């Protein structure tokens, strides 16, 4: 069973998909879409194409654990995905984008290349965290 992680953003949304066994992060890509309803449909299409069982949606909590405006937007996307019949789990994504920028800096990825990949890297970090939580 594949698991898909989503790092929801206003303009670009990062997506990472596990292998068939649901143990390793595999493919990662970015969906460019500003309209939340259209984004939900596109995520659903990608999930169906890849036979995804669960979508792990980043839940951007504040550092003190409270929920802010970004978390409300993620909750709205989660509800749209659920209306499409998809299983959705919200996952604490604190620091994933910061860590993604750090990883890209360490590999000297800068400028447009960084801007176009940082969301996919953040989605991969969400996926890796979720997959690690499933291990006994």
CA distances 64 to 58, 59, 60, 130, 133, Å, are: 16, 14, 11, 20, 21
Query: Please, what CATH class does the domain formed by 2-134 belong to?
Result: alpha beta
Q: How many CB atoms lie within 10 A of CB 73?
A: 15
What is the pTM for the complete model shown? 0.87
pLDDT (tens, 9 = 90+) of the chain, 136 residues, equals: 899 999 999 899 999 999 998 889 989 999 999 999 999 999 999 999 999 999 999 998 777 877 778 889 999 999 999 999 999 999 988 777 777 767 777 777 666 666 678 888 899 999 999 999 988 7
pLDDT in tens, 126-135: 999 999 998 8
pLDDT given for residue 109 in this prediction? 67
Kindly list the domain boundaries of the chain, sorted by start residue: 2-134
């Amino acid at each position: 069973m594949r698991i898909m992680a989503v790092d929801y953003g206003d303009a670009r949304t990062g997506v990472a998909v596990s292998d068939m066994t649901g143990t390793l992060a595999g493919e990662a890509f970015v969906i460019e879409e500003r309209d939340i309803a259209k984004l939900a449909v596109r995520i659903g299409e990608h999930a169906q194409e890849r036979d995804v069982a669960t979508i792990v949606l980043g839940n951007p909590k504040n550092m003190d654990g409270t929920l802010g405006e970004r978390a409300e937007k993620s909750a709205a996307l989660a509800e749209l995905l659920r209306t499409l019949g998809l299983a959705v789990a919200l996952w604490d994504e604190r620091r994933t984008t910061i860590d993604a920028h750090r990883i890209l800096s360490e590999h000297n990825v800068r400028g447009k290349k960084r801007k176009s990949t940082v969301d996919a890297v953040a989605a991969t970090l969400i996926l890796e965290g979720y997959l690690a939580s499933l291990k006994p």
